[in-house]
Each structure stands twice: as structure tokens, then as C-alpha cells.
Amino acid sequence: MLFFNTAIAVKTPDKSLAPLFLILTVFAAIGLSFGIHALIVGHDHVFGTSREVPWGLLITPYVFFACLSTGLCIISSLGQVFHIKTFVPLVNRAVFLSIIAMSAGLISIGLEVESPWRMILYGIISPNPNSNIWWKSAIYTLYILLMIFNFLFLLLNKTKTARGLAIGALIAITCGNLNMNSDMALLGSRGFWAENYMPLFFLIMSTLLACCSLTMFVWLSYKLHNRTIDNETRRSVAAIRKLTLLLLIGALAFGAIKILGGFSTKFTENPLAMQVLVHGDFAVKFWIGEIILTSILPLFIILLCKENNKIGLGAFACLSSTIGVFITFYNLIIVGQLVPHFTTYDLFDVPRYYSYSPSLHEAMMTMGVMFFFIASFVLGEIILNSASVRDHLKNMI
């Protein structure tokens, strides 16, 4: 058994999910085809970015999925590295979701870069240890390889080897995640991304995303297979829910810090950006996305469903928080770029703020990456829960 704690009776892949997988794949292909078109005609013709705002919407799913993969690695490590029994039933699913999440993130950043093949080629033949981006690319490549082999050894029930690979992956992805703000601050070193709390912010948001995704996908998996959630899995989800509550409070605390920064320069390195976020053009996205959807609504719903038999309601709360975190990352990426570099010098003919709006291509490519992730999840449910396919994979390995 791979994802379920009780043996599944199906000996062959569950073909009933095939139509759903095909539909999701079609939507993913449509969205990603816009990325191919952008590579042909040039990003400057189809992207809403500019010289002043060089990073657009596509950076958001990259950060989102990279953080999601980080959090899933942390949760899986609680079970297979630190041997916390409550999290053991979720290890296999967390590792698999971590792999496809990082794959989605790499696809997103690959589509955003106008010549992604150069990043791969020159990253290998002419590495630059002084480049923060090169280190991030190398770390993420090493991480996804470690997680793939971790997953394969979990299939083989070689837990000691899998644990060693998991430790290496945890160290790699933690280093990459804690330095996420350093990558963003390269763009003119805007202070909005250099707040002292940013490393802890990314770590908490990553783990929150992981908890929410595991709750949603565990519930969805059992619904797709029309199975009753067993008691052991219920206990694992209950533990995840308690951790989610703690992380939601942490996310709300970061929201409170931003609110203080929006009204007082004492609480932020870049008050102009915070003002745009809290009570400027991005205020609706901030209050609805970062405060209500990310923290307040999920907290209210989860506190209502303390009983283990209300996992579906908890999954809805997690969906709300996931959407809110995505909006949070979008605000984080865009708002910091809207403040001109030399705005404090009151230069003539320099706007107070720059502007940015996502283009159709960017929106469709983002949609394609999202559907790729969901389609990969469904494909895993089709293939990896089949006894014959699992046995065949073990024989190949």
C-alpha cells in the first residue's frame, strides 16, 4: 500500500479517474501552450512586465509551489526522519506531493525566463558560486533528485536509505527556503523583501501550505476512490489540524506586522510599499486575501470542526487559506517593485509608484501550471494505488 493505510482491493489502475485526468491535462496543455507561444514571439510582446517591474505573475506560482514543496518535505520528515508516529501515515503522500509541487514550480520559473535552456546549460558548464540564483537552482535540482530517490526507496520499503535521503533533502530545501527573500531583494534591493522577519515568514507559510494541502488532498483522495477514512488517517489529519491552527495564528501575526508597517514607519523598512499594500491600490487584495482568506476565515471554520468526522469542512478551510497564501505571495512579489528606486530623492518626472497588470499569457500560463499540479495528483491516484503497478515498479527498480 502506498497512500492508504488499509490495502486497496483494486489490482489494476483505477480507470474511472481517467476522464478527470484527461480533462485536467487538456486544461494544463492549453495554459502551457501560451508559454510556448511566448517563447516564440518574445516575452516583451505578451507579458505585462516592464523594465521597472521585471517580475510578474509567473513568479507567484514559482514561490507558491517551492514553498509548498518545502513544507511537505518538513511534514514528511516529521514521520520518516524524526519518527513521530502520528505523521507516518502521511509520509508517502507528502513526498509524492512535494515532488510534483517542485516540478510545477520549476515549470513556472522556466516559462517566466525567456531563455530557460541557457539557465540549464550555463548553470552546468559555467557555474558561478557567487550567484545567489545559481545556488538556488543547484539546491532545488539536488532537492528534487533526493526526493525522487526518497520516494523510490519508500516504494521498496527500504526505510533506512529513504531516511538518509530525506535528511539530505530537508537540509537542502530548508537552506533554499530561508534564503528566498535574498533572491527577491536582488531587484534593486527593495526593502519590502528585506524585512528581518522574512526567513521565518517563508518557513511558517511553507509549513502552513503543506498542512492545508495534505488535509485537502487526503480528503479528496478518499472521495475519489469512494473510501471511508480509517481511524489512523483521521488521527494524522487531526494532528495536522492542530499544527494548522498554530500556523494560522503565526500568519495572522505577520499580517498584523504589515498593518502596523502600513500606518507607521517604525515597523517597516519600506513604508511606501506597506502603504500601497495596507491602504493603497492593493488594500482589497491585502485585507481579503492576506487577512480574511489566509487566517481569519480558516481559523473560524477549523475551530467549528473540532470533531474528526468533519474533515471535509476542514478541507474547505484549508482551501481558503491556500488561496489566501497565493494572494499573499502575489502581493509580496509585485508591491515591492512598484516603489521607484530613487523615490526618496523627489526627482522630476519620476512617478510616485510604478504600475503592473498581468497579461492574458501570464494568467493562462499560471492556470496551466496549476492544472499540471492537480493532473499529476490525479495521475498518482490512478497509478500508484494499484497493486499491479506498484509491484511492476518494484520489479523495475
Q: Is residue 7 assigned to a domain? A: no
Residue 1: inside a domain: no
pLDDT of residue 127: 83
What's the structural domain count of the chain?
Answer: 2
The answer to whether residue 8 sits within a structural domain is: no
Q: How far apart are the first and last CA of the chain?
A: 17
In a shared domain, residues 295 and 389: no
**pLDDT score, position 231:** 87
pLDDT in tens, 290-344: 999 999 999 999 888 765 457 888 999 999 999 999 999 999 989 888 888 776 6
Handedness of CA 70, 118, 121, 130 (dihedral sign): negative
Same domain, 252 and 301: yes
Q: Is position 174 within any domain? A: yes
Would you state the torsion angle of the CA atoms of residues 65, 67, 73, 74, taken in this order, to the nearest 10 degrees? Answer: -150
Ranges of the chain whose pLDDT falls below 70: 1-14, 181-194, 306-309, 343-346, 386-397
Residues 154 and 173 in one domain: yes
pLDDT tens-digit profile of 142-166? 999 999 999 999 988 888 999 999 9
Return the ∠ at Cα 42 (arms to 41 and 44), rounded to 5°. 130
Residue 54 lies in a domain: yes
